[in-house]
Amino acid sequence: MGPLNEEQRVEMLSQSLEKSGVSDIVKEIIGQTSGFMPKDIHALVADAGANLVHRLQDVKCINSDKASSVKLTSTVDDSGIKSPWHNLGKKDIIRALERSKKRNASALGTPKVPNIKWEDVGGLEDVKKSILDTVQLPLLHKDLFASGLRKRSGVLLYGPPGTGKTLLAKAVATECSLNFLSVKGPELINMYIGESEKNVRDIFQKARSARPCVIFFDELDSLAPARGASGDSGGVMDRVVSQMLAEIDGLNDSTQDLFIIGASNRPDLIDPALLRPGRFDKLLYVGVNSDTSYRERVLLALTRKFKLHENVSLFTIASKCPSNFTGADMYALCADAWFHAAKCLVSRVQMDSTLNDQVDSVVVEFGDFIEVLGELSPSLSIAEIRKYEALRDQFEGASK
Ligand SMILES: Nc1ncnc2c1ncn2[C@@H]1O[C@H](COP(=O)(O)OP(=O)(O)OP(=O)(O)O)[C@@H](O)[C@H]1O
């Protein structure tokens, strides 16, 4: 679920603060909560509550120090029950808002070269090649591309969740020795008027000072929904999209070593202006392939650092996995199989102390995979995958 619109935020905040007697503050702060998702509202209220607890503790200490009979001001509601929430003041909420702002600022992170190699990405060879063409060629032939007519492209990786979009973007950055600046859409949206646009400017500024650099916009649809469609009367999202467009267009005048890669499950929700030439105009579908050999290649990548028993046939395991297993499902399979093997090893060592020196080397056997496979179910149904494929058909050709 994306950011809430103003009406939804008012409703949720009013409900959460109903018992506190400070619901009149909702009007005051609502403008500062643009871009909030339900979890952000919960966090805000919980944080304000934590503030209150600290304050109550402080007052309690003072009161017991003075051995006075001063009582905390608490009101009694209709039912006659005293609620500590009645002590919640505007100050607690304002403080919680300030903290949330600080958290957002630090969550925007600093760029660094990731440590994901091509070998860590299984299957997806075509997508790998297309991204490399877009990123590596201009890097290797800067002069040629700087004078060319073709505007540089940003890549949009789209498709179902857990299929390796983030992994691919990181692998490109590692392989081309680029710094990687990852921005999750909702993280960037700030409640303070003007702050979200500033965050966008800051991100591009950070990337410019860390060149060569890739900016990876995860959940691009929540960051750049079609303008006028977000239902946010504050218009924060619209201004963020406009700022993004201005920054991306600005990239075309500068050198060839700043790249933008976006990822989204719902490209149909992204503002179409962002998908025009020179922006995120190279659309690459990253999906689920029902071929056994695809699953085998993903398993190979995921078990690269495992010690596998010689009885393990990754192809046989791949053929036993449901055809709608995503990369993330196979990650769960491998992690669970390793854990199963580790547990067995620990119980063997407990029974026989002569095996103590083996404790560091977990060897994963075929049986470990089969054992845990039965407990896993695909995170996406075949019907859901078909929906994503229908979206792909709709977008196919858009980047050609
Ligand atoms: N093709 C793949 N090869 C190897 N591992 C994969 C692959 N696809 C997914 N995985 C595993 O699944 C995890 C989740 O993948 P990733 O975060 O790249 O998915 P995503 O497509 O970006 O998902 P989302 O849309 O939810 O952000 C990865 O950390 C990796 O362990």
pLDDT of residue 234: 57
What are the residue ranges spanned by the domains of the chain? 6-107, 118-288, 292-379
Neighbours of 249 (CB within 10 A): 13
Residue 197 is which amino acid? E
Nearest ligand 1 atom, CA 123: 1
- What pTM, to 2 d.p., does this model score? 0.72
- Asked whether the domain spanning 292-379 has the same topology as the one spanning 118-288, the reply is no
Nearest ligand 1 atom, CA 265: 25
pLDDT of residue 313: 96
* Residue 234: both structure tokens together: 């504050």
Whether 30 and 83 have beta carbons less than 8 Å apart is answered as no
Neighbours of 357 (CB within 10 A): 8
Best residue among 163, 168, 295, 296 to mutate for probing ligand 1's pocket (most ligand atoms within 8 Å of CB) is 163
* Ligand 1 center–CA 378 separation, angstroms: 14
* Residue 359: both structure tokens together: 């404790």
pLDDT tens digit at each of 400 positions of the chain = 556 777 888 888 888 877 666 667 787 777 667 557 787 788 888 888 887 777 666 665 555 555 444 344 444 444 444 455 566 777 888 888 878 766 655 555 666 677 898 899 999 999 998 888 888 877 777 666 666 655 567 899 999 999 999 999 999 888 888 888 888 877 777 656 677 888 888 888 888 877 788 999 999 988 777 666 555 545 777 888 888 899 988 886 656 678 899 999 999 989 888 998 888 988 999 999 989 999 999 999 999 989 999 999 999 999 999 999 999 999 999 999 999 999 998 888 888 777 666 666 889 999 999 999 999 999 999 999 999 999 999 888 554 4
* Residue 206: both structure tokens together: 């950070």
Residue 242 is which amino acid? S
* Ligand 1 center–CA 221 separation, angstroms: 18
Task: Check if 162 has its Cβ closer than 6 Å to any atom of ligand 1.
Answer: yes
Task: Check if 295 has its Cβ closer than 6 Å to any atom of ligand 1.
Answer: no
DSSP assignment of 265-277, as one string?
S-GGGB-GGGGST
Torsion of CA 160, 161, 167, 170, to 10 degrees: 90
* Ligand 1 center–CA 162 separation, angstroms: 4
Tell me which residue has tokens 């808002």: 97
Task: Check if 118 has its Cβ closer than 6 Å to any atom of ligand 1.
Answer: no
* Ligand 1 center–CA 292 separation, angstroms: 18
C-alpha 3/C-alpha 11 separation (Å) is: 14
pLDDT of residue 108: 53
* Ligand 1 center–CA 194 separation, angstroms: 34
Tell me which residue has tokens 């966090």: 43
Dihedral of alpha carbons 143, 146, 147, 151, sign: positive
Task: Check if 164 has its Cβ closer than 6 Å to any atom of ligand 1.
Answer: yes
Second-level CATH architecture of 292-379: Orthogonal Bundle (1.10)
My answer on whether omega of the bond before 212 falls inside 30° of 0, hence cis, is yes
- Each as own residue / partner, the long-range contacts of residues 302-306 (CB below 8 Å, 24 or more positions apart, any chain) are 302/122, 302/330, 302/331, 302/334, 303/334, 303/364, 304/119, 304/120, 306/334, 306/338, 306/364
Residues 6+ apart with CB under 8 A from 94: 29
pLDDT of residue 81: 45
Which residue's CA lies nearest to atom 25 of ligand 1? 161
Whether 115 and 174 have beta carbons less than 8 Å apart is answered as yes
* Ligand 1 center–CA 167 separation, angstroms: 6
Q: What is the ipTM of this complex?
A: 0.97
Which residue's CA lies nearest to atom 17 of ligand 1? 166
Residues 6+ apart with CB under 8 A from 114: 170, 171, 173, 174, 180
In the three-class reduction of DSSP (H, G, I as helix; E, B as strand; rest coil), residue 113 is classed as coil
Check: CATH 1.10.10 for 6-107? no
Nearest ligand 1 atom, CA 297: 3
Residue 2 is which amino acid? G
Residue 302 is which amino acid? L
Q: Could you tell me the end-to-end alpha-carbon distance of the chain, in angstroms, rounded to an integer? A: 31
* Ligand 1 center–CA 327 separation, angstroms: 6
* Residue 184: both structure tokens together: 């999750």
C-alpha 347/C-alpha 375 separation (Å) is: 21
- Each as own residue / partner, the long-range contacts of residues 385-389 (CB below 8 Å, 24 or more positions apart, any chain) are 385/160, 385/287, 385/288, 385/324, 388/159, 388/160, 388/265, 388/287, 389/287
Residue 238 is which amino acid? D
Whether 303 and 176 have beta carbons less than 8 Å apart is answered as no
Which residue's CA lies nearest to atom 12 of ligand 1? 328
Class of domain 118-288: alpha beta
Task: Check if 190 has its Cβ closer than 6 Å to any atom of ligand 1.
Answer: no
Task: Check if 263 has its Cβ closer than 6 Å to any atom of ligand 1.
Answer: yes
Task: Check if 169 has its Cβ closer than 6 Å to any atom of ligand 1.
Answer: no
Nearest ligand 1 atom, CA 218: 27
- Of 266, 262, 263, the C-alpha closest to 225 is 266
